[in-house]
Amino acid sequence: MGMSKALGDDLMAWTDTFQKFFIEELDGFSARPLWRSGLNQFEWYDEGYRIVHKMRLEFPDVHVKPEFAQYVFSVNERRENMGLAPIRLPHESKAGHISIADVVHGQPEIPQNRWREDK
């Protein structure tokens, strides 16, 4: 692939850490994935972005898309980070949440702008 040895080593070590410490993704919208003790998964996440940055520098003509947030953050944490409402099950009543049925059936979502004051 033409990747530098240093970057390749970083990527292999980061992937190896994932293989050793990641346990599983959980069902539900609010639960974070499980990791074994002995690793700070947020530091692993940050290291992933450092590697992505290095890859973008080495391969400026390639779109390097990070796809590892789902291994650290819950569905609702990722949605809220994108400005979208958190999800709930159809039978639940949670203020500020939208039903998964609305998401599945294609109801349009408008990102929430929490910093704008409506006048």
- Could you report the per-residue pLDDT of 96-105, keeping only the tens digit for each? 787 878 777 7
Q: Stretch 9-28: mean pLDDT, rounded?
A: 95
State the pairing for strand pair 87-88/34-35.
Answer: unpaired
Q: ∠ at Cα 91 (90, 95), nearest 5°?
A: 80
Provide the whole-model pTM.
Answer: 0.77
Amino acid found at 57: L
Q: Stretch 75-91: mean pLDDT, rounded?
A: 86
Q: Stretch 104-113: mean pLDDT, rounded?
A: 62
CA distance 17 to 93: 39
Question: Which backbone phi and psi does 99 adopt, to 5 degrees?
Answer: -75, 140
Confidence of residue 41 (pLDDT cuts 50, 70, 90): very high
Q: Any idea where the domains of the chain sit in the sequence?
A: 5-104
Report the interhelical angle of 5-21 vs 41-58 (nearest 10°).
Answer: 150
The DSSP code sequence of 61-92 is: TS------GGGTS-HHHHHHHTTPPPEE-TT-
Please give the mean pLDDT across all residues of the chain: 87
